[in-house]
Amino acid sequence: MDFKKAEDLLKLCESKGMTISEVMKRRECDQFETTEDEIVYKMQHAWKIMKESAVGPTKNAVRSMGGLIGGEAKKLNEHRAKGKSIVGNVMAKAITYAMAVLEVNASMGLIVAAPTAGSSGVVPGVLLALQEEYKISDDRIIDGLFNASAIGYLAMHNATVAGAVGGCQAEIGVAAAMAASAATELMGGDARQCMYAASTVLMNMLGLICDPVLGLVEYPCQNRNASGAANALIAAEMSLSGITQMIPLDEMMDCMYNVGRRMPVEFRETAKGGCAATPTACALCKKCS
């Protein structure tokens, strides 16, 4: 049940009549010579951590170590609770939970890197929002996480998830692709539609640079987790509606990787370009030094 490319994964799904999550479970069992119960148990533990990190800051603001973020998730949650959200419950919850996880991460709390710490809010943000709005069971969410992990595995095997290598498109972009694919399966889409959604996200976030202010994984990282969650939901909605993607997922991953490698070093997690090089960010840096 192993696969190295999205095309291989799609063929397995279609030839065996299986979902992406089912194939990924079988792959993990074969690869690590273990049982499905064992890998599901580990994923359940990951989901528990994800939920805790996504919900906590919506009630109690968490200040980051660098002091650049803290309290944003609580503000968003209160805004939605007052009936003032302009994007609807699913989107509002997704961006709130995504930002919450970054508050936990930046305060040295416990999170699940999915696929990285700096992009750890996107997958739980999207999946928890869908779970609450559509009353999806934890068992089904676990399936969604296995689906997401398949997309993450493909990105790590064929491209990169490191901001220092490919910019933020490799971190937030891949996280959003993972979330989009998982959301598509959870809402009834087939394997091909999942890949359309993942490919759409990478296309829409292509070229996103990594430019952490003060060199900290706080700002604009937290904002971009929210935008990644939004992109994931947009791509899933498009795919589920029947919109296809002209460029296959394998080609989009190659494209993203090539774009990332051609980015100037200033735009790859060095804090020497983009937002990190603005006058305000530089003034903050001088104050810190």
Whether the predicted pLDDT of 211 surpasses 90: yes
Give the model confidence (pLDDT) of 53-73 as tens digits: 999 999 999 999 999 999 999
Average pLDDT value over all residues in the chain: 97
What is the rounded end-to-end Cα distance, in angstroms, of the chain? 53
Give the model confidence (pLDDT) of 25-53 as tens digits: 999 999 999 999 999 999 999 999 999 99
| Phi and psi angles of residue 210, each rounded to the nearest 5 degrees, phi first | -110, 110
Please say whether the structural domain 6-288 has been given the CATH code 1.20.1070: no
Whether the predicted pLDDT of 137 surpasses 60: yes
Give the model confidence (pLDDT) of 173-187 as tens digits: 999 999 999 999 999
Give the model confidence (pLDDT) of 219-271 as tens digits: 999 999 999 999 999 999 999 999 999 999 999 999 999 999 999 999 999 99
Give me the residue label for tokens 């640079």. 209
pLDDT at residue number 288: 64
Burial of 246 (0-12, 13-18, 19+ CB in 10 A): exposed
Reported confidence tier of residue 289, pLDDT bands at 50, 70, 90: low
pLDDT at residue number 266: 97
Number of residues that make up the chain: 289
pLDDT at residue number 86: 97
**Mapping DSSP to helix (H, G, I), strand (E, B) and coil, where does residue 210 land?**
strand
Closest by alpha carbon to 182, among 260, 123, 265, 105? 123
Q: Where are the domains of the chain?
A: 6-288
Run of H or E including 262: helix 249-262
Closest by alpha carbon to 170, among 266, 49, 254, 277? 254
pLDDT at residue number 35: 97
pLDDT at residue number 140: 98
Task: Look up residue 218 and give its DSSP letter.
Answer: T
Which pTM value belongs to this model? Answer: 0.97
pLDDT at residue number 117: 98
Give the model confidence (pLDDT) of 95-107 as tens digits: 999 999 999 999 9
